[in-house]
């Protein structure tokens, strides 16, 4: 067995993004470009993330103000959630395709993960940048999980799903434990929701997010997200 490998750096993007601080009142920095690995990584490194507008094929790049984060040391774990955590196993990167497909189930309200997004993050996963954190039953059934992008000490969460109570939260608890152990400093959740706020997510000004992002990008990638040779 060799040492774990760093992610593969793809060819650079051919696009130049406007600065995150130029976003309009909705948080949109610009429209267009592509979803190549180099473009996605350049965006995350500048504080942007992609999402199509209103299920259309118009690709937008977002930098909301305020920005939602979940402080690494601020996760709220209730007694019932702690009990749920003891019932399940948490694994990393053993079922990325299954997780993104569950997150992108078209029957889910507000679904936004279309074929282009799916393909883009599968490419990022193959290069070692996109990762899944999964919740499994003791008898081997996938019942919850999340996926996102890890760059240095940043984890940019993209989506989560559950088929049993608390199982997306169990994956989140597992993710935070890995991030804390690996020295990561930013868990980006894009926008806060009542669900995420109940777990400790907070809103911070865009400028503060960009400052924390710059510091996080200089940190080493947690070992759990490095690829096997």
Q: Has residue 213 been placed in a domain?
A: yes
Q: Is 79 helix (H, G, I), strand (E, B) or coil?
A: helix
Report pLDDT digits (tens) over 45-86.
Answer: 999 999 988 766 789 999 999 999 999 999 999 999 999 999
Q: Has residue 182 been placed in a domain?
A: yes
Q: Can you read off the two tokens belonging to residue 175? A: 């993710």
Q: Has residue 9 been placed in a domain?
A: no
- The residues pairing with 149 across neighbouring beta strands, listed in sequence order, are 130, 156
CATH (domain of 153):
3.40.630.70
- Give me the pLDDT at residue 56, please: 61
- Segment 154-165 shows an average pLDDT of 97
Q: Has residue 101 been placed in a domain?
A: yes
Q: Has residue 27 been placed in a domain?
A: no
Instruction: Find the domain containing 86 and state its range.
Output: 68-225
206-210's contacts with Cβ under 8 Å and 24+ in sequence apart are: 206/20, 206/21, 206/23, 206/47, 206/63, 206/64, 206/65, 206/66, 206/67, 207/21, 208/67, 209/47, 209/66, 209/67, 209/69, 210/20, 210/21, 210/47
Would the CA dihedral through 160, 163, 168, 174 be positive or negative? negative
Q: Has residue 39 been placed in a domain?
A: no
98-101's contacts with Cβ under 8 Å and 24+ in sequence apart are: 98/134, 98/142, 98/145, 99/132, 99/134, 99/142, 99/145, 99/146, 99/147, 99/161, 100/132, 100/147, 100/159
The number of folded domains in the chain is 1
What percent of the chain shows pLDDT beyond 70?
Answer: 96
Q: Over the chain, what is the mean pLDDT?
A: 94
- Segment 165-187 shows an average pLDDT of 98
Q: Has residue 99 been placed in a domain?
A: yes
Strand order in the sheet with 59-62: 28-31, 59-62, 49-52
- Give me the pLDDT at residue 68, please: 98
State yes or no: pLDDT of 40 exceeds 60. Answer: yes
What percent of the chain shows pLDDT beyond 90?
Answer: 89
Strand-strand pairing, 67-69 and 89-92: unpaired
Q: How far apart are CA 185 and CA 182, in angstroms?
A: 9
Q: How far apart are CA 221 and CA 227, in angstroms?
A: 11
- Report the predicted TM-score, pTM, of the whole model to 2 decimal places: 0.95
Report pLDDT digits (tens) over 100-128.
Answer: 999 998 877 666 788 999 999 999 999 99
- Give me the pLDDT at residue 5, please: 87
Which of 4-13, 84-93, 122-131 is predicted with the least confidence, judged by mean pLDDT? Answer: 4-13
Categorize the per-residue pLDDT at 193 as very low, low, confident or very high, splitting at 50, 70 and 90: very high
Categorize the per-residue pLDDT at 228 as very low, low, confident or very high, splitting at 50, 70 and 90: confident
Q: Has residue 167 been placed in a domain?
A: yes
């Amino acid at each position: 067995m060799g040492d774990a490998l760093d992610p593969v750096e793809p060819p650079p993007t051919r696009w130049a993004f406007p600065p995150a601080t130029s976003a309009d009142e909705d948080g949109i920095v610009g429209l267009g470009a592509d979803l190549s690995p180099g473009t996605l990584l350049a965006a995350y490194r500048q504080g942007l993330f992609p999402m199509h507008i209103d299920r259309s094929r118009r690709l937008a790049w977002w930098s909301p103000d305020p920005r939602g984060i979940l402080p690494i040391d601020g996760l709220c774990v209730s007694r019932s959630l702690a009990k749920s955590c003891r019932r399940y196993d948490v694994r990393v990167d053993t079922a990325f395709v299954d997780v993104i497909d569950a997150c992108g189930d078209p029957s889910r309200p507000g679904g936004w993960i279309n074929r282009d997004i799916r393909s883009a993050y599968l490419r990022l996963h193959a290069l070692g940048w996109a990762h899944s954190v999964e919740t499994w039953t003791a008898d081997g059934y996938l019942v919850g999980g999340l996926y996102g992008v890890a760059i240095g000490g940043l984890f940019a969460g993209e989506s989560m799903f559950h088929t049993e109570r608390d199982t997306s939260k169990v994956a989140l608890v597992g993710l935070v434990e890995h991030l804390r152990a690996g020295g990561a400093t930013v868990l980006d959740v894009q926008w806060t929701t009542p669900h995420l706020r109940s777990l400790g997510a907070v809103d911070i000004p865009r400028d503060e997010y960009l400052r924390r992002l710059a510091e996080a990008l200089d940190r080493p990638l947690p070992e759990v997200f490095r690829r096997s040779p």
